[in-house]
């Protein structure tokens, strides 16, 4: 049985239909990617999974249980975490409090030291306020907040966007490490080479439909499909 099974998911923003009958699944220990143009519906898909957007119909089964229409805190407690594209760090809390807050409602939360082993930079900045962090540090903190809850499934929305190449390298290394540890991840990212290297399987999303599914190895071997849907 798949860790996540999404069937015929339909989401709207107001009256506009954004996602059309999305079907996809994620196996345990698998990193999958959603690839597509800006506005294709990738972020809406992640927001629908975590409950920020309430889908009108369909099914979201995580670990054998239905979560369609549930509140974000219910879905979060079931083991899903979204690292939002805006990072949404609490600027009024310091780095450490951001992490502590994230772990409050999770009995199996990681000790802080385990987070600081992955992100030594966050330990150095632990007493800095959330707003004083650089973009890269904020992204690390956003990922750390998700990790501290030891989630079954992490949704990463544009984790490398707007960051300097050196920092992207750093974050790719962390993501690689998480993938190698067997974390289950759905990755949405415009940086196609990094995405294809991290994920083992990819869905191509176009105008709110899933138009293609393949292993990243075969997409790399035959990039014409990317050309067709992304123009790259």
Partner 1 sequence: MISWSNFISQCINGVVLGALLALISSGLTIIYGTLGVLNLAHGALFMLGGYAGWYTYEHTQSYFLSIVLGALFVLLVGIIIERVLIRFFYSRTDEEQILVTFGLGIVIVEIIRLVFGSLSESIPIPHWAQGITSLGFMFYPTYRLVVVGIVALALFSLWLILYRTNLGMIVRAGIEDSEMVDMLGINVYRVFMVVFGVGAMAAGFAGVVNVPVTPITPDVGEDILVETFVVIVIGGVGSFPGAILGGLIAGEILSITSMFNPAYSQVMLFVVMTIVLFTRPYGLLGSKGRS
Q: Which of 18, 24, 36, 84 binds partner 1 (CB under 8 A)?
A: 84
Q: Which positions from 191 to 210 touch partner 1 by CB under 8 A, shown as an x/- string?
A: --------------------
Is residue 104 a contact point for partner 1 (CB under 8 A)? yes
Shorter beta-carbon distance to partner 1: residue 55 or 202: 55
Q: Which residue has the tokens 């009958």?
A: 21
What angle, 0 to 180 degrees and rounded to 10, lies between the N-to-C axes of helices 135-147 and 95-103?
A: 20
Complex with partner 1: residue 84 or 183, whichever CB lies closer: 84
Burial readout 36-67 (b: 16 or more C-beta within 10 A, e: otherwise): bbeebbbbbbbbbbbbebebeebebbbbeeeb
Instruction: Based on the shown chain and the rule CB under 8 A, indicate whether residue 111 belongs to the binding site for partner 1.
Output: no
Stretch in the footprint of partner 1 (CB under 8 A) among 61-69, 79-87, 114-122, 189-197? 79-87
Among 21, 57, 69, 71, binds partner 1 (CB under 8 A): 71
Of 105 and 169, which has the nearer Cβ to partner 1? Answer: 105
Q: Which of 3, 9, 40, 50 is in the footprint of partner 1 by CB under 8 A?
A: 50
Token duo for residue 220: 């790399």
Beta strands 184-188 and 153-157: pairing type?
A: parallel
Minimum Å gap between C-beta 220 and partner 1 is 33
CB of 73 to partner 1, least distance (A): 5
In angstroms, the Cα distances linking 114 to 79, 120, 166 are 18, 10, 24
Question: Mind spelling out the 3-state secondary structure of 136-164?
Answer: HHHHHHHHHHHHCCCCCEEEEECCCCCCC
Residue 105 binds partner 1 (CB under 8 A):
yes
The window from 4-12, 13-21, 103-111, 185-193 that contacts partner 1 (CB under 8 A) reads 103-111
Distance CA 59, CA 65 (A): 10
* Residue whose C-alpha is closest to residue 158's, from 85, 52, 86: 85
Contact between 228 and partner 1 per CB under 8 A: no
> Do the beta carbons of residue 138 and residue 87 sit within 8 Å?
yes
214 near partner 1 (CB under 8 A): no
Residues that bind partner 1 (CB under 8 A): 50, 52, 71-73, 76-77, 81-82, 84, 88, 90-93, 97, 100-102, 104-106, 145, 149
């Amino acid at each position: 049985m798949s860790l996540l099974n999404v069937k015929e998911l339909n989401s709207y923003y107001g009256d506009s239909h954004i996602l059309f009958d999305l079907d996809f699944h994620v196996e345990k220990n698998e990193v999958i990617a959603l690839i597509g143009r800006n506005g294709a519906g990738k972020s809406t898909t992640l927001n629908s999974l975590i409950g920020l957007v309430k889908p009108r119909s369909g099914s979201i089964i995580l670990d054998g249980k239905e979560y369609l229409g549930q509140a974000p805190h219910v879905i979060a407690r079931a083991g899903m975490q979204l690292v939002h594209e805006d990072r949404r760090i609490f600027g009024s809390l310091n780095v450490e409090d951001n992490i502590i807050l994230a772990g409050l409602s999770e009995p199996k939360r990681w000790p802080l030291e385990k987070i600081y082993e992955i992100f030594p930079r966050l330990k150095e900045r632990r007493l800095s306020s959330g707003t004083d962090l650089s973009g890269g540090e904020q992204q690390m903190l956003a990922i750390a907040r998700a990790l501290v809850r030891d989630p079954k499934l992490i949704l990463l929305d544009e984790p490398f966007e707007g960051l300097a190449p050196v920092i992207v390298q750093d974050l790719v290394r962390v993501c690689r490490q998480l993938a190698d540890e067997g974390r289950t991840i759905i990755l949405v990212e415009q940086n196609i080479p990094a995405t294809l290297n991290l994920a083992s399987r990819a869905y191509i999303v176009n105008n709110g439909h899933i138009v293609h599914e393949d292993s990243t190895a075969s997409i790399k071997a035959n990039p014409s499909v990317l050309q067709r849907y992304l123009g790259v």
